[in-house]
Each structure stands twice: as C-alpha cells, then as structure tokens.
Amino acid sequence: MRTSVGLRGATGATFDHVAREAGVSRGLLHYYFGTKERLLCEVVRRDCDLRMERLSATVAGVGSADALLGALVQSLNETIAESPEFFVILFELHTLGRRNAEIAVELAELHRRVRGHLGGLLARAREAGVIGLAGEPEVVAEVLFSLGDGLAMRMIAEPERDYAPALTTGLQAARALVLPA
C-alpha cells in the first residue's frame, strides 16, 4: 500500500493494485483490512512505530541540544530519502480524515502516540541534564514535528530544490525550543 500510494496517491491506490503488487488476492486484503482506509491506517501505524524506533535510536546517547537537533534533522533527511511515501500517506490521511471520522480518530491517536514518544525522549534528556526545554516536553515535540512535517511536505513537492537553507533556518527555530543544558 505504501508503494502504491507513493506512486498513485490514495485515490489511485486501489485494492486491485495493492493485491497485484503484493502478490496476494484482493479478497485477502478485504478479509484482513475491510476497507482501503483501514489498510492506509495500518500502514501509517506501522510506519509510526518504525519512526518511533528510529527516533529512540537517533536520540539515544546524544550529549547536547545541538546533537539532539542534528539527529532529528538527519532522521528527517533519511526518511525523505529512503521512504518519502511515509509522508505522502500521512498527508493523504490528513485529507481523508476531514471526511472520514474513523480515519480522523486513528490519525489523532497516531499523532498522540508519536508526540508522547518524542516528548518522553525529550523529558529524559532534560532529566539527564543533556538539554533544556522552552516548554513542556510534549508541546515542544508537537512543534518539532510540525516543523519537520511541514518541511517534508515541501521537500516532497519540490524535490529539485536545495532545502539546506530552509533546514538550517528550521534548526535555528528549533534551538529556541531545545536549549543547551
């Protein structure tokens, strides 16, 4: 589903396409997921779990606010390079969630989990004396994700642009939130 949405968008990624590309029957997808929207939600849930694992590994052992923020920027760049379809599906779900209550609820839960995860990582880094925070950990996490997701949307929309200046400026903004200890 991830690949199909990346190529065709959510509307064009039908169960027929997904089943053919995965080498399974369409009926099997219906049996396990019921609807295309449910399958999309499951893909994003799995990708969010992987994103949280990556965040944990990326932030583990950082020794400063700059190292932590640099690791987050590196993680964003790697996700864009390795699996931009993660963001494509996430953005598609935001649009679909405006018309589908089930997707809206699922998306809100995914955001809560990821925000809480990064907030916990930030809180632990603060408690360890590695960083300071300009606000509550989950609030800082929310703003950091908003910055990253917004930049990701633009990076995917205009991949030929050089985003180094925007990332540098975004990093400066993030430094107002994640402070030296």
Give kind and range of the element (H or E) at residue 180: strand 178-180
Two structure tokens written together for 59: 């932030």
Per cent of the chain over pLDDT 90 is: 50
* Mean pLDDT in residue range 126-131: 96
pLDDT beyond 90 at 159 = yes
pLDDT digits (tens, 9 = 90+) for 6-21: 677 777 778 888 888 8
Residue 124 has pLDDT above 90, yes or no: yes
CA atoms within 13 A on the CB side of 179: 9
93 in helix, strand or coil? Answer: helix
What does pLDDT average to over the chain?
89
Mean pLDDT of 30-43: 83
Predicted pLDDT at 91: 87
| Predicted pLDDT of residue 66 | 96
Three-state DSSP class for 130?
A: coil
Residues 91-123 have pLDDT tens digits of: 888 888 898 888 898 889 999 999 999 999 999
Token couple for 173: 């903004």
**pLDDT score for 98:** 92
Q: Which two tokens stand for residue 38?
A: 């449910």
- Give the chain's domains with CATH numbers: 37-180 (1.10.357.10)
Spatial separation of the C-alpha atoms in residues 60 and 180, rounded to whole Å: 17
What mean pLDDT is predicted for residues 57-65?
Answer: 89
- Digit-coded pLDDT (tens) for 130-156: 999 999 999 999 999 999 999 999 999
Instruction: Tell me if 37 sits within 8 A of 96, measured CB to CB.
Output: yes
How much is the pLDDT for 86? 83
pLDDT value, residue 145: 95
Position 50 scores a pLDDT of 84
Residue 103's contacts (CB-CB under 8 Å, 6 or more residues apart) are: 37, 40, 41, 93, 96, 97
